[in-house]
A and B are shown apart, each in its own frame.
Chain A
Amino acid sequence: QVQLVQSGAEVKKPGSSVKVSCKASGGSASNFAIDWVRQAPGQGLRWMGRIIPMFGTTNYGQKFQGRLTITADDSTSTAFMELSSLRPEDTATYYCVYTTESTGLFTDDAFDIWGQGTMVTVSS
């Protein structure tokens, strides 16, 4: 069973960037996908974007276009989420999510396995 371990909490200034990592261990499928989902304090879940590491292809949510970059390093089984031009409203817990048998970038896959979450606080 795949397990996801994310990097630790971050405190950032408005206008800066944050990069969160997500390391998968315990095996992997060849066509898996990694998504990023965030949750502001006391709020619901919002999907941010997806990467299929085997191809390096990405799909970003409209709300994050231009500010979000998702990458993956196959050699270390690690995915990264970088969000730039941070604002206080970006304060949230960021989750990486693993889909074992992805059907593509633009699909209705279920999110099988969730990381523990990384709290990002944006404050001056």
Chain B
Amino acid sequence: QSVLTQPPSVSGAPGQRVTISCTGSSSNIGAGYHVHWYQQLPGTAPKLLIYVNNDRPSGVPDRFSVSKSGTSASLAITGLQAEDEADYYCQSYDTSLSGSIFGGGTKLTVL
């Protein structure tokens, strides 16, 4: 059971917009800690996708954006492409656990 809750799966057609939620609590997201997002393509290591306040590593398109409110955060992907099919994880810090935490992951299927 992950401390951060994500939907197990989402799907969308090419060109559409999808969102992936990440729900935490007052000891992590609600305490003001940053939320970061990772993309894991099949059979590969995760890679940092977007961090802090919509900061993106070099090469990550601006089709990916995040928002945060209260104890939750969301990743939005616009203009969905086949290459976006992957697992997505949110990550933050939990003050009760004194360590980093991940969401359970969301599998994105491009129809």
Contact A106 B93, beta carbon cutoff 8 Å: yes
A-side contacts of B33, CB under 8 Å: 108
The reply on A75 being an interface residue by CB < 8 A is no
CA distance A95 to B101 in the complex (A): 15
CA distance A117 to B40 in the complex (A): 12
Q: Which of A35, A46, A111 makes the CB contact (< 8 A) with B36? A: A111
Binding site of B, secondary structure by majority: helix, strand, loop or mixed?
strand
Interface residues on B, range: 20 to 34
CA distance A60 to B97 in the complex (A): 10
B-side contacts of A107, CB under 8 Å: 93
* Segment 59-92 of B: residues with Cβ below 8 Å from A: 89, 91-92
Contact B52 A110, beta carbon cutoff 8 Å: yes
The residue among B38, B52, B97, B100 with the most chain A CB atoms within 10 A of its own CB is B100
B-side contacts of A35, CB under 8 Å: 100
Contact A44 B2, beta carbon cutoff 8 Å: yes
How many whole Å from A38's CB to the nearest CB in chain B?
Answer: 11
* Segment 89-103 of A: residues with Cβ below 8 Å from B: 95
B-side contacts of A95, CB under 8 Å: 45-46
CA distance A111 to B70 in the complex (A): 23
Contact B97 A110, beta carbon cutoff 8 Å: no
The reply on A115 being an interface residue by CB < 8 A is yes
The reply on B47 being an interface residue by CB < 8 A is yes
Interface string of A102-124 (1 = CB under 8 A from B): 00001111111111110000000
How many whole Å from A68's CB to the nearest CB in chain B?
Answer: 12
Contact A44 B104, beta carbon cutoff 8 Å: yes
Contact A110 B102, beta carbon cutoff 8 Å: no
Residues of A near any B CB (own CB < 8 A): 35, 37, 44-47, 49-50, 59-62, 95, 106-117
**With A44-B89, A59-B98, A59-B99 already in contact, 14 other A-B pairs whose C-beta atoms are closer than 8 Å:** A37-B46, A44-B104, A46-B102, A47-B100, A61-B97, A95-B46, A106-B93, A108-B33, A108-B92, A110-B51, A111-B38, A113-B48, A114-B45, A116-B45
